[in-house]
Structures are given as C-alpha cells and as structure tokens.
Amino acid sequence: MDPIRWLLGVVMSSRALVTLAWKAAYVGKFDRWNAANRFPEIAGRRQLHEHVMNLFAGQQITYLEFGVHKGESLRWWVEGNAHPRSRFVGFDSFAGLPETWRKGFPKGHFSTGGVPPEIDDSRCEFKVGWFQSTLPRLLREGDITTPIVAHLDGDLYSSTLFVLFALAPSLKTGDVLILDDFTNTLHVFRALTDFTAAGLLPLQPLVTNEAMRRIAVRVAPATDAPGVLLP
C-alpha cells in the first residue's frame, strides 16, 4: 500500500473517532442542559419568529441575520416590521459554508454564487463576506441604541461562537437571539454553552420549537436575574 495513502487513512480515521467522542460527550451535555433550562415550546419555525416579532410590535428595531442564503427569513422580518427607521442587515459570504458542517453539507453548500437576494426595501442592506470581517466593521459604526434581534443561522461552531462574543458588548437588556439548528450538539449548542460558561452576558430562556431544533433567548436585566441560562 502507498504509505502516504495509508497515513492519510489513519489521520482521517483518527479525526472521525475524535468527532464521535465529541458528539457523544455533547449529546449527554445537551440532555442535561435541556433538563436544567426550561423553554416554553411553540408549534413551528414561523410561529417562533412571530412570537419574537410580537415582542417588538410597532417598535424601531435593528435586525441582524447571520446566514442569509436566499433571504426567506430576512424578507419576512422586513415585511413584518413596518417601522420606517428599523434597520435590517444580512451577513453572508453567499459563497456557501467555509467548511464541511455535517454529512450532506460540504464546504460550499448554500452558495448563491456570491449574489445576495433581492429585497426591495431601503431599510435592508447586506454585508457580504465572512462574519469576522463584516460584523466588526458594522459595530465600529457606533452603539446600537434600538432593540436588537439577532438571528444566528451560520450553522458552524466557529461562526456562531464568533458572532456571540463579538456582539455581546452591544447587546442590552431585552435584546433577543434566535439560534437555528440548536440540536446540532457539535456546533450551535456547543457554541452557546461555551459562550454562556464565559459569563459575559446573562441570557434567559424565551421560547423553543420542534424539541429544541431552534431556540430564542433574551438578555436578562442582571446577572442575578431569575431563570438565567445555566452553562
């Protein structure tokens, strides 16, 4: 056997074993976390977004979406919040995943050829590129004083963790985070629990759907507020 091919096979097998070990560890952690942090459950994805939107009915908001793809949820928020000074910002490279996410979703999946969706509303804009380049530039524009709704749909652990830590200093009491694909324990769940463990920002359970497939959490008023998420 070609020794290089043999060595590559060993490396790939080792990575697979490490991934399985991590997955097993985080499946157990997910069960314990779910038992410790009780979320009211709601019927479906759209109903979860409606629940959050209704919290800010008639208000000026800043809606930040990380992972836009074809713009379905971003467009829905633009149409659903009519305040003339609300701001809607979509963050995406539009080149697809920067690395493999899970089986069936390789690097480049979700690409739109670099082209953002068309949303005909002057309140909506796109920040095209990787989150680590585009989000800091937006935050340097100044403090966001309006309520923030941030929809995290970047799929990957690294993408989600970066957004959480980068956005944390700008988040205020009552701001809401929506996290998609939460049951993927190696990615979004792991990112949120690692962020929570750092103790930078107290978060409270708000609502979930489809057995924790996605969740919404709210920034709590103080670190000693009741119902704060446990890491």
| Arithmetic mean of pLDDT, 51-56 | 97
Within-domain flag for 200: yes
CATH (domain of 189): 3.40.50.150
> How does the average pLDDT of the chain come out, rounded?
87
Whose structure tokens read 């009211």?
Answer: 40
Q: Where is pLDDT greater, at 212 or 203?
A: 203
183 assigned to some structural domain? yes
Looking at the structure of the chain, the number of domains it has is 1
Tens of pLDDT, residues 102-114: 777 677 677 778 7
Q: Indicate whether 30 belongs to any domain.
A: no
**Is 105 a domain residue?**
yes
pLDDT of res. 12:
44
Say how far apart CA 59 and CA 124 lie, in whole Å: 16
Examine residue 188 and state whether it is found in any structural domain, yes or no.
yes
pLDDT at 28 (0 to 100): 83
**Prediction pTM value:** 0.86
Q: Is residue 186 part of a domain?
A: yes
Closest to 221 (Cα-Cα) out of 167, 171, 163, 169: 171
Structural domain harbouring 96: 37-219
Alpha carbon 135 to its chain centroid, in Å, reads 13
Residue 87 contacts residue 123 (beta carbons within 8 Å)? yes
